[in-house]
Amino acid sequence: MTPAATRALTLINASLGMPAHRGAASSVRVVDARITAVGCEPQPGDRVVDLEGDRLLPGLVNAHEHLQLNSFPPLEHGPRFRNVRAWIAEVSLRARTDAAFRAVVDAPRDRRLLHGAVKNLLSGVTTVAHHDPLYPALTDAGYPVRVVEHCGWSHSLGIDGEAQVRHSYERTPRDVPWIIHAAEGVDDEAAQELDRLEALGCLAGNTLIVHGVALGEAGRARLADAGAGLVWCPASNLRLFGRSAEVADLVARGRVALGTDSRLSGACDLLHELRVAREAAGLDDAALQALVTGSSARLLRLADRGALEPGMLADFLVLPRSRTLSEADRGDVRMVVVGGRMRYGDRDYARAMGPASQWLDVTVDGRRKVLERELADRLTRAHVTEPGLEFPDAAWRAA
């Protein structure tokens, strides 16, 4: 992550509630990349930014992502898989037989990881749980979003095998999350995976199961009773299997977070994933927002994220005052702040947050936006081409 600006910042006239329940405008003060006060007056010397009633939310948390897999075009097919093993086999075949697909596989990994970060940042995500090795690029000071570092993980029982899964769980401290793909399918093999994990001693309060499509009512109750959680990726599940995990009972117990998987199988970004989640489970706006803020932070043991409270990291998403998350797209995003530093958003906020030299005008999905110039330069040097993100020709020539 890049360092935050040292000057104190106070955001005033911010709407902190849901659009349908907006109360009086409030303020949030930031010092040294953390929230120091809410509902306060600016102090002498603060940079003061007037949100004029726009919604201020915690930066979103994407609870499941494969950051290096977002450069791939989605594989076109209908929902026809019974188990994730068949999907993995198809991807492997494509990598061997499709030259264009293979070219993406062979692209530098750091470029693909940077692409994954930009995908998330433009949709208001400031923290990502990456379900793969913690590559050095992900902890580099210049990486655009925060990546969860304190967690244990195994890919799945099918890929890693029972001995490796158990070893992974046993070496993970109980006060950090342990994450695994499980019950990813609609066949008996997928349905039995929760039993296998429990028999291995891998179902406990720090367990996070990703997908859980095959979990029945009894399995979901056992998951919640153990204090464990489910990371739900409905777009990927519907696309591969024609069915999503049932989540209403787990949502009611605060045991669900939302993730995107990657563009190889899932939604284009977390905002789109929220729309899929709304349609799949009929959740209201407050429940949907919790899936990508408070609930996700709690399940991932991120005590300094997911809420607008003193001591929390100054990671913010600003939306138009009447816009809910499940209605928004990345063109609606008015500002994304990471550690008190604006990275993406609208020109009027950019002018208030820093000098003109700090920003580059870009177009996102046909909407005029600005991107922090340092990040834009990095993207152009790496030749990251995010669909819908257009740079001035001069920026590409300079790269």
Q: What is the pLDDT of residues 309-358, one digit of tens each?
A: 999 999 999 999 989 999 999 999 999 999 999 999 999 999 999 999 99
pLDDT above 70 as % of the chain: 95
User: Is the pLDDT assigned to residue 23 strictly greater than 80?
Assistant: no
pLDDT at site 80 = 84
* CB-count burial class (<10 Å; 0-12, 13-18, 19+) for 176: middle
Q: What is the pLDDT of residues 257-311, one digit of tens each?
A: 999 999 999 999 999 999 999 999 999 999 999 999 999 999 999 999 999 999 9
CB 146 within 8 A of CB 312: no
pLDDT at site 328 = 97
User: Is the pLDDT assigned to residue 37 strictly greater than 90?
Assistant: yes
User: Is the pLDDT assigned to residue 394 strictly greater than 60?
Assistant: no
Please give the backbone phi and psi of residue 182, each rounded to the nearest 5 degrees, phi first. Answer: -155, 155
pLDDT at site 36 = 97
CB 90 within 8 A of CB 75: yes
pLDDT at site 395 = 52
**Residue 6 — pLDDT band, cuts 50, 70, 90?**
low
The mean pLDDT value for 64-92 works out to 88
- Amino acid found at 392: P
Among 16-20, 228-232, 276-280, the minimum mean pLDDT is found in: 16-20
Q: Where are the domains of the chain?
A: 9-58+306-355, 61-299
Residue 367 CB neighbour total at 10 angstroms: 14
Q: What is the pLDDT of residues 357-372, one digit of tens each?
A: 999 999 999 999 999 9
pLDDT at site 72 = 84
User: Assign residue 266 a region: left if phi > 0, alpha if psi is -120 to 50, beta otherwise?
Assistant: beta
User: Is the pLDDT assigned to residue 397 strictly greater than 50?
Assistant: no
The mean pLDDT value for 177-206 works out to 98
The mean pLDDT value for 158-182 works out to 98
Q: Which residues contact 379 (CB under 8 A, 6 or more apart)?
A: 114, 118, 371, 386, 391
CB 266 within 8 A of CB 235: yes
User: Is the pLDDT assigned to residue 17 strictly greater than 90?
Assistant: no
The mean pLDDT value for 40-62 works out to 96
CATH number corresponding to 61-299: 3.20.20.140
**Residue 177 — pLDDT band, cuts 50, 70, 90?**
very high
Mean pLDDT computed over every residue of the chain: 94
pLDDT above 90 as % of the chain: 88
The mean pLDDT value for 176-198 works out to 98
Please, what sign has the CA dihedral across residues 339, 341, 344, 348? positive
List own/partner pairs for 104-113 with CB under 8 A and 24 or more apart.
Answer: 104/71, 104/72, 107/71, 108/382, 109/68, 109/135, 109/137, 110/135, 110/137, 110/382, 111/71, 111/382, 111/383, 111/384, 112/67, 112/68, 112/69, 112/70, 112/71, 113/67, 113/68, 113/137, 113/138, 113/143
pLDDT at site 18 = 80
pLDDT at site 396 = 46
**Residue 2 — pLDDT band, cuts 50, 70, 90?**
very low
pTM for this entry: 0.95
pLDDT at site 20 = 61
The CA–CA distances, whole Å, from 241 to 77, 94, 222, 270 equal 11, 19, 24, 20
Which CATH superfamily does the domain covering 9-58+306-355 fall into?
Urease, subunit C, domain 1 (2.30.40.10)
Please, what sign has the CA dihedral across residues 173, 176, 177, 180? negative
